[in-house]
Structure 1
Amino acid sequence: MASDLFLTPDELEHLTGRRRGKEQREQLDAMGVRWLVNAAGETLVGRRHVEEVLCGTASSDRKKREPNFGALAS
């Protein structure tokens, strides 16, 4: 069943603290949680991925950002 695979709208709202899809997606990005938008415009978030992120076992797709120290050299 899809509700077992994906967070429900109520769970997504609880996780992000946001009601609107755009704001939810911004918060998910900040949390390092991957998401997709389906054809109906709904934000889909995998339940297992959220568990991995919250437990610290998910591999991060985000690049580690470091300052460009080369820009300081003249």
Structure 2
Amino acid sequence: MQLGTRWTAGDQPPAAVPASLHEQLAAVEADLPPGNPPPRWTLTWLEGRPVAELDSGVIVTIDRDGAVVVRHDDEDEFA
């Protein structure tokens, strides 16, 4: 079993966050408007794959083919 974690956008991702997601997480954070307080990420695991979701609804995950995917929680994942 893998446990999730939370961290604040702009901080170094915790060790539990796969390195393959770091670049895309940083790209999402670079596009965030300045604000107080900064949003937080939540890392969970679905079918053994990491899912990082920002409070704003941006989701960064790894698809079945191993590619890093960025989407918003109101987008249909299976479209």
Interval of TM-score (by shorter of Structure 1 and Structure 2) = under 0.3
Larger CA Rg, structure 1 vs 2: 1
TM-score, structure 2 as length reference: 0.26
More helix by share: 1
TM-score, structure 1 as length reference: 0.27
